[in-house]
Amino acid sequence: MEGQFPLHFSWIVEDELCALAFPHLKDNLRYLVCNNVGYLVSLTAERSPDIQGFEDVIFPDLELVTIGIKDFTAPSLEQVKIFLQIMEQGKQNRKAVAIHCAHGKGRTGTIAACYLVKTYGLTSQQALDKVRQLRPGSVETVTQEQLVAEFETWYKDKLL
């Protein structure tokens, strides 16, 4: 009853944050739930996973949150902040958070890198390198890279 391993699945931070491509199958969602994922953050502006029809029956503990970002673009700082709030909820509830976009690379990698900057004190370049090591091909555009650097500057200024 573990479900099917989702396409492009990997842990960014074990038992805390994982990333994947768009979960097309119910068994992908089952896999997430069986691995203590309580929040599924969809970064696709195009569409979200269809869990409405069966979430109360099979996945009552999986909350879907949509932060719509157009493909090959970067999130806004406001969208990153929303994601970070979800991560805090996950920690409080001792549940992991899963993020996805279409292929789990660009938008997903960008958001994951921002999380590493905030939570683990990495520089934007260190965070990008780490995400790309774990998920080759991640953070696909210069605009996405720039957003991670912008987030680092904003976050460090906030701490001062």
Q: Where are the domains of the chain?
A: 10-159
Cα gap 67→101, rounded to integer Å: 10
The per-residue DSSP string of 119-134 comes to HH---HHHHHHHHHHH
Which residues are tagged catalytic?
A: 101
Mean pLDDT check: name the lowest of 1-10, 24-33, 56-65, 111-120. Answer: 56-65
Q: pTM of the full predicted structure? A: 0.91
Tens digits of per-residue pLDDT, 51-102? 555 444 467 788 999 999 999 999 999 999 999 999 999 999 999 999 999 9
Which parts of 10-76 fold into alpha helices (H)? 26-34
* % of the chain exceeding 70 in pLDDT: 92
State the first-to-last Cα distance of the chain, in angstroms, to the nearest integer: 48
Q: How many Å separate Cα 107 from the centre of its chain? A: 8
83: which DSSP letter?
H
What's the pLDDT at 135? 96
What's the pLDDT at 54? 46
Answer with the residue of higher pLDDT: 60 or 106. Answer: 106
Class of domain 10-159: alpha beta
- Give the Cα-Cα-Cα angle 50, 37, 146 (nearest 5 degrees): 85
40 phi and psi angles, rounded to 5 deg: -115, 115
pLDDT category at 115 given cuts 50, 70, 90 is very high
Question: What mean pLDDT do residues 140-145 have?
Answer: 98
The answer to whether the CB of 40 falls within 8 A of the CB of 20 is no
Cα gap 59→34, rounded to integer Å: 10
